């Protein structure tokens, strides 16, 4: 049964769109980290110190030691609700995004939003005195910045698209995006100030992408190019069909053509003799050669 479930999940991942794949990756990472944490707790050990190496630190010296965290943090989540809300937003607005942009654009915007959100988080925490005391102990994790980039890009491309909200009815997408961004601005000094700052960075990245694309420039091209190059290194290469080489073929062709020409010349000579002197003038060998030629 477990094998069947794993096979089904693999097929859904392989045949799913880019939103489905990102959701699968985020859920898989969460399950691995959650189960690892539970396992370590059984031995009275904490996984916090381990997971911090894939979360984005506010401290610049710490970031220099783990630069990969600028990418890995956007696939980490602190709890089930954190994961659930991000994945719901990714599914809803990612699906809408794909109506107006390509799957590669979504892949690039997800990564670009996460990068810009993470960079703005580190910049703000090291620039503003309000956050100075928090820098050594602050880490960022979550796909929120990436998701906000997708929301902002879609809102810029199709601002009047109607969105049905529970209790609020139908709202235009541009107003929903403005409310979300406005709330992030209002809460940058809250307990989760780093998260709200990252959201703003992601939203700015989405706007940057959509505005640039409308002018014919794709700012995610380098991201997708890098991903394709890296995945290409691990992709299975098609086997080349084996070719049989006949090293004596050319010489054999020359011999065959020479023999064929000689035979044709001999048949032409016999036919000329036949016309001039009649059939009885032909020798037995000439008659046989003419008979053989008629069968070819």
Give the range among 27-41, 67-81, 187-201, 226-240 with minimum mean pLDDT.
226-240
Dist CA 101 CA 158 (whole Å)? 11
Q: What is the mean pLDDT of residues 269-291?
A: 69
Predicted confidence band of residue 254 (pLDDT cuts 50, 70, 90)? low
- The pLDDT tens digits for 187-238 are 999 989 999 999 999 999 999 999 999 999 999 999 999 999 998 888 777 6
Domains and CATH numbers, the chain: 2-234 (1.20.1540.10), 260-295 (no CATH)
Predicted confidence band of residue 14 (pLDDT cuts 50, 70, 90)? confident
Q: What pLDDT shows up at residue 2?
A: 65
- Report CA 210 to chain centroid distance, whole Å: 19
Greater pLDDT, 95 or 294: 95
**Dihedral over Cα of 259, 263, 265, 266: its sign:** positive
Q: What pLDDT shows up at residue 95?
A: 94
Predicted confidence band of residue 266 (pLDDT cuts 50, 70, 90)? confident
Q: Which residue has the tokens 């703000």?
A: 124
DSSP code per residue over 140-190: E--SHHHHHHHHHHHHHHSTT-EEEETTTEEEEHHHHHHHHHHHHHHTTTS
Greater pLDDT, 261 or 156: 156
Predicted confidence band of residue 174 (pLDDT cuts 50, 70, 90)? very high
- The pLDDT tens digits for 82-93 are 999 999 999 999
Q: Which residue has the tokens 């904490």?
A: 46
């Amino acid at each position: 049964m477990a094998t069947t479930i794993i096979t089904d999940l693999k097929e859904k991942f392989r045949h799913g769109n880019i939103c489905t794949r990102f959701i699968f990756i985020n859920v898989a990472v969460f399950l691995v980290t959650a189960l690892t944490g539970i396992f370590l707790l059984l031995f009275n050990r904490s996984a916090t110190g381990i997971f911090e190496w894939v979360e984005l630190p506010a401290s610049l010296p710490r970031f220099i030691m783990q630069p990969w965290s600028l990418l890995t943090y956007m696939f980490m989540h602190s709890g089930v609700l954190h994961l659930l809300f991000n994945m719901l937003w990714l599914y809803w607005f990612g699906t809408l995004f794909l109506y107006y942009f390509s799957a590669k654009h979504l892949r690039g915007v997800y990564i670009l939003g996460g990068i810009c959100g993470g960079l703005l988080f580190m910049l703000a925490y090291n620039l503003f005195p309000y956050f100075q005391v928090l820098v050594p102990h602050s880490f960022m994790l979550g796909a929120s910045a990436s998701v906000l980039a997708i929301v902002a890009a879609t809102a810029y491309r199709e601002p009047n698209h109607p969105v049905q909200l529970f209790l609020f009815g139908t709202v235009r997408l541009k107003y929903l995006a403005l409310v979300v961004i406005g709330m992030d601005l209002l809460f940058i000094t809250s307990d989760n100030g780093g998260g709200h700052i990252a959201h703003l960075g992601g939203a700015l990245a989405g706007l940057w992408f959509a505005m640039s694309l409308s002018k014919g420039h794709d700012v995610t091209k380098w991201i997708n190019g890098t991903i394709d190059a890296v995945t290409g290194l691990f992709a299975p290469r098609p086997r080349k069909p084996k070719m049989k080489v006949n090293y004596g073929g050319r010489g054999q062709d020359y011999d065959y053509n020479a023999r064929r020409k000689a035979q044709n010349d001999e048949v032409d000579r016999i036919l000329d003799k036949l016309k001039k002197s009649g059939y009885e003038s032909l020798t037995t060998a000439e008659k046989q050669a003419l008979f053989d030629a008629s069968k070819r």
